């Protein structure tokens, strides 16, 4: 593992301190950050307003990009997914203006490159339709997941570790460098891992993602999704950044939720509602309830009536998500009529709910699927 400081872990202050230690003028920190975040350049030799000696010093002492992209797939709907192995050295840096650079060209065959699945995470770029410039980065916060949701591929191998703030930020940055992506406009922490179980690194990453010198993304366009850690939800409300909180509910009662989500054995829905109320009171931000519809399991009208009762106990809206099948798991995608009926029950009860469009199904874009398929090769 490269033990040099990781550029995406640094702030203007911490980078400035390092640069001063290396004998370079302090203003170089601003220049380097502009090259990386604004221009997409990660090769010091291409930073033309730096002297030759300074470019060499940076190359020797600073790690600008970590990990190697093992897989990069492009779906028919424009969704793009990358599998990153953090234990491998990166490919040689390339100029972002090169149309043939590896980072700009999907390679559906590169999954034949073997790495260590215990060091791999996924990230996904989800485009809106052609009439909208929205480009959403779905990023991971951990390697694997300890929550172990019965329907999710992310936790099939358990938790292998936390990502650093720099690794979290780098995912969003790399997705923004993909061909056809002018810039990332939205970020969702809905990839691998439980974000609030890696609280310090996730919140540090958010600060850089929203900083004018970083990716400059509006905090209101960042969503942190959690299976539900009440104390961490309240702690998140204290960081004073107006992000959106999404709670992965997935069941309308504690009995069923405990069957689907092992962590729910220690956290009740009532506790989550109380934490959600506190979050709204502190931030003024409505809470999103995420609900994956599993065919024949939690998608019946009686479940919708129970969910409506929960949603009306706090300021919330509901995202309904059709399940994306995972070969190793015994769950099915719900039929469209049952999804529409479920939404109708909620709307009739006065609940604001939406059915999230399924994206990237032909490239295993659901959380943890690509890593699971790769480790099964």
What pLDDT, on a 0 to 100 scale, did the predictor assign at position 182? 83
Q: Is 353 a catalytic residue?
A: no
What pLDDT, on a 0 to 100 scale, did the predictor assign at position 96? 55
**Could you tell me what percent of the chain has a pLDDT over 70?**
88
* pLDDT exceeds 50 at position 106: no
Architecture of the structural domain at 127-167+179-375: Alpha-Beta Barrel (3.20)
**Which residues in the chain are classed under CATH 1.10.150.530?**
7-61
In the numeric block, the tokens 């890696």 are attached to 198
Residue of 63, 145, 152, 367 marked active site: 367
**Which residues in the chain are classed under CATH 3.20.20.70?**
127-167+179-375
Architecture of the structural domain at 7-61: Orthogonal Bundle (1.10)
* pLDDT exceeds 80 at position 359: no
Q: Is 138 a catalytic residue?
A: no
Between CA 105 and CA 304 the distance in angstroms is: 43
pLDDT averaged over every residue in the chain? 90
* pLDDT exceeds 50 at position 33: yes
Residue of 63, 122, 149, 353 marked active site: 122
């Amino acid at each position: 593992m490269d033990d040099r400081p990781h550029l995406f872990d640094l702030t203007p202050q911490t980078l400035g301190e390092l640069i001063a230690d290396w004998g370079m003028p302090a203003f170089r920190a601003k220049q380097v950050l502009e090259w990386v975040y604004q221009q997409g350049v990660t090769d010091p030799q291409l930073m033309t307003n730096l002297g030759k000696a300074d470019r060499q010093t940076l190359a020797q002492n600073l790690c600008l990009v970590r990990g190697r992209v093992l897989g990069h797939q492009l779906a028919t709907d424009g969704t793009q997914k990358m599998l990153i192995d953090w234990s491998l050295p990166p490919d040689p840096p390339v100029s972002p203006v090169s149309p043939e650079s590896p980072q700009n060209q999907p390679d559906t065959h590169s999954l034949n490159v073997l790495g260590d699945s215990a060091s791999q995470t996924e990230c996904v770029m989800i485009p809106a339709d052609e009439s909208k410039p929205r480009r959403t980065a779905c990023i991971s916060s951990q390697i694997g997941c300890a929550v172990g949701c019965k329907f999710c591929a992310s936790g099939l191998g358990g938790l292998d570790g936390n990502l650093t703030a720099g690794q979290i930020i780098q995912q969003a940055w790399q997705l923004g460098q993909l061909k056809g992506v002018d810039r990332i406009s939205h970020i969702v922490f809905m990839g691998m891992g439980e974000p609030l179980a890696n609280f310090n690194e996730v919140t540090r990453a958010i600060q850089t993602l929203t900083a004018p010198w970083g990716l400059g993304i509006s905090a209101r366009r960042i969503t942190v999704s959690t299976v539900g850690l009440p104390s961490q939800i309240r702690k998140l409300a204290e960081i004073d950044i107006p992000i959106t909180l999404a709670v992965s509910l997935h069941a309308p009662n504690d009995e069923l939720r405990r069957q689907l989500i092992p962590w729910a054995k220690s956290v009740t829905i009532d506790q989550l509602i109380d934490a959600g109320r506190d979050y709204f009171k502190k931030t003024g931000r409505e809470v999103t309830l995420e609900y994956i519809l599993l065919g024949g399991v939690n998608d019946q009208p009686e479940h919708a009536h129970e969910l409506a009762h929960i949603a009306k106990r706090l300021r919330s809206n509901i995202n309904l998500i059709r399940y994306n099948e995972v070969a190793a798991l015994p769950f099915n995608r719900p039929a469209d009529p049952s999804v529409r009926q479920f939404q109708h029950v909620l709307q009739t009860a006065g609940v604001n709910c939406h059915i999230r469009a399924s994206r990237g199904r032909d490239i295993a874009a659901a959380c943890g699927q690509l890593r699971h398929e790769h480790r099964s090769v």
